[in-house]
Structure 1
Amino acid sequence: MTEYATTSQGDRVAYDLHGSGPAVVFVTGAGPDRADDPVTAETAERVADAGLTALTFDRLGRGESPAEGRLDLDRELAAVAAMIEVAGSPAVLVGHSSGCSVSLRAADAGLPVAGLALWEAPLGGPAVKAQAWADEIERLLDAGDHENAMRHYMKDMPPEWLAGMEASPAWPLIARTVAAYRADAQSLAWAQHALEDGTLDVTVPVLAMYGAETFPEMPVAAASIVVAVPNGTEKEMPGAMHSWEPEPMAAQLTELARRCAG
């Protein structure tokens, strides 16, 4: 059953809580909410069955966590902090896609994070390019041009993904969801700068994972994260098309959470 918590910035966040034990909080990337993310839901249930507390939530501006105004990274971090408090501090954060950079920023900012499990962080290339990409998304959002903001956000993704969205009669409504991606863009630009400048300050255990069938840049990104932290591990896992398989992922998360809990 959906429950709610209010962040330090006044946003109301919807979440599901399962199990009891060391805490694991799932931080999704751009796009999904709990209603259309069965893979994360199944993984959370398996983690809970293994003796952990598992929390999934709708990020700001998505699903049952409606939010207005400028949905920036600071507001998103306040939501993550509220979810850690609900699940039990400190918590292992499980980042997926741009949720990886949000999770990295949470740990770097000093939130009570016990460890990080990062699945296919979309990082790579010069930081200046990532910053220019994020700046253009923010410019388009500030101008109210949601359709072009969505197109720009997805410009380096497989073109058929965007084509499918644009072919939908609901495209104008779909495009408006990009307002919730500002935090993702900001976190990705920040993470690329931190990796390039050597300023990433994350000392907790970090497990950087990617699927056995994935895009060639994902293993490269995982390796770049691992070399930037003092306690990092890179691992190939069963998975394809930017998604993992719930059973082996749950086993890996359970092992990491128990190790982080001592």
Structure 2
Amino acid sequence: MPSVTSTDGTSIAYELAGDGPVIVFVPGAFNDRRTCAPLAEALRDDYTVVSVDRRGRGGSTDAIAPADAGSYTVAHEIDDLDAVLAEVGPAAVFGFSSGANLALMAAAAGSAITRLVMYEAPFALGDPARAGRDGLVDRLAALVADGRAGDAVATMQTEGIGLPAEMVDGLRRSPLWAGLEAIAQTVVYDAVITRAPNVPTAAMASVAVPTLVLAGARTWPGLRDAARALPGVLADARYVELPGGEDHAFPVAATAEAVAEFLASQKPA
């Protein structure tokens, strides 16, 4: 699998397939490159699709030691994305969940993003519960530094994402839990990305990159409300609601169609 080296020495792995204009996929919390793989597969006939493992996940490394997880800043992952874009060229970026927040932050920082698609970015727009809990980042960083990976994962799921405690208890007893513990350090990063007040800054709101905001009609209401509100905040964005999309999962065929139509509509005459 190809990789690039970020500013701090972190190796960022990615998969590349297809042919045509480039789309880079940036996943969210508890995700790796496999999360967007079905969508990338649906688009690869007409696009070059680049599925990224964010730092600390999948095939990517992480130069930040667990004891120093609290030193993470969003600039680390903007540098990671910039390293990928330097390799594949300026590109459209599809951000899923907190990966959409990250992609917008990167666009505001001047990354070579030509078009932006944001799928259910968990901003606190119309839902104060998504504003981020005070002290969450510090508590997560302390848990990671103490080697309490499972507690860090559970804390992020209940306090950061808002999953019911009984659901998290069930997950903790499932075969999936070991994989979540393996990337526990990254929950600190997504907590930083979505920390209070968790609304677009003035720089993010003024991003001139054409943006498509997507949400599923049957997703969690707070995510759908935030997506509906985003075009009223961003400089050049429109909203499309897709059928289905239960429980924060994107409907592959409908999402691929919306992305393709958006990118085709943005081609120069």
TM-score between the two structures when normalised by the length of structure 2: 0.83
Distance 2:226 2:155 in 1: 21
- The corresponding residue for 2:195 is 189
Equivalent of residue 256 in structure 1, options 256, 259, 262:
262
- The corresponding residue for 1:166 is 172
- The corresponding residue for 2:154 is 151
Change (3 A) 1:225 1:142: farther
Residue identity opposite 1:212 in structure 2:
A
Change (3 A) 1:182 1:223: same
Residue identity opposite 1:254 in structure 2:
A
Distance 1:235 1:98 in 2: 18
- The corresponding residue for 1:84 is 85
- The corresponding residue for 1:223 is 228
Task: Name stretches of at least 5 consecutive residues in structure 1 with no aligned partner.
Answer: none
Q: Does 1:96 align with 2:128?
A: no
Equivalent of residue 240 in structure 1, options 243, 246, 250:
246
Equivalent of residue 216 in structure 2, options 211, 215, 220:
211
The Cα of 1:191 is off from its aligned counterpart by: 7.2
Q: Does 1:3 align with 2:2?
A: yes
TM-score between the two structures when normalised by the length of structure 1: 0.85
The Cα of 1:164 is off from its aligned counterpart by: 3.0
The Cα of 1:256 is off from its aligned counterpart by: 2.3
- The corresponding residue for 1:66 is 61
The Cα of 1:253 is off from its aligned counterpart by: 1.5
SS at match of 2:140: helix
Distance 1:134 1:45 in 2: 35
CA contact (8 A) 2:56 2:186 kept: yes
Residue identity opposite 1:220 in structure 2:
D
Equivalent of residue 202 in structure 1, options 207, 213, 216:
207
Distance 1:63 1:5 in 2: 14
The Cα of 1:252 is off from its aligned counterpart by: 1.6
What is the identity percentage for the equivalent residue pairs of Structure 1 and Structure 2?
A: 28
Distance 1:166 1:191 in 2: 29
Distance 1:100 1:4 in 2: 21
Question: How many pairs align?
Answer: 255
CA contact (8 A) 1:5 1:13 kept: yes
Change (3 A) 1:191 1:230: farther
Q: Does 1:43 align with 2:49?
A: no
Q: Which has the higher contact order (CA 8 A, sep 6+)?
A: 1
Task: Name stretches of at least 5 consecutive residues in structure 2 with no aligned partner.
Answer: none
SS at match of 1:79: helix
- The corresponding residue for 1:140 is 143
The Cα of 1:98 is off from its aligned counterpart by: 1.0
After TM superposition, where is structure 1 displaced by more than 6 Å over at least 4 residues in a row? none
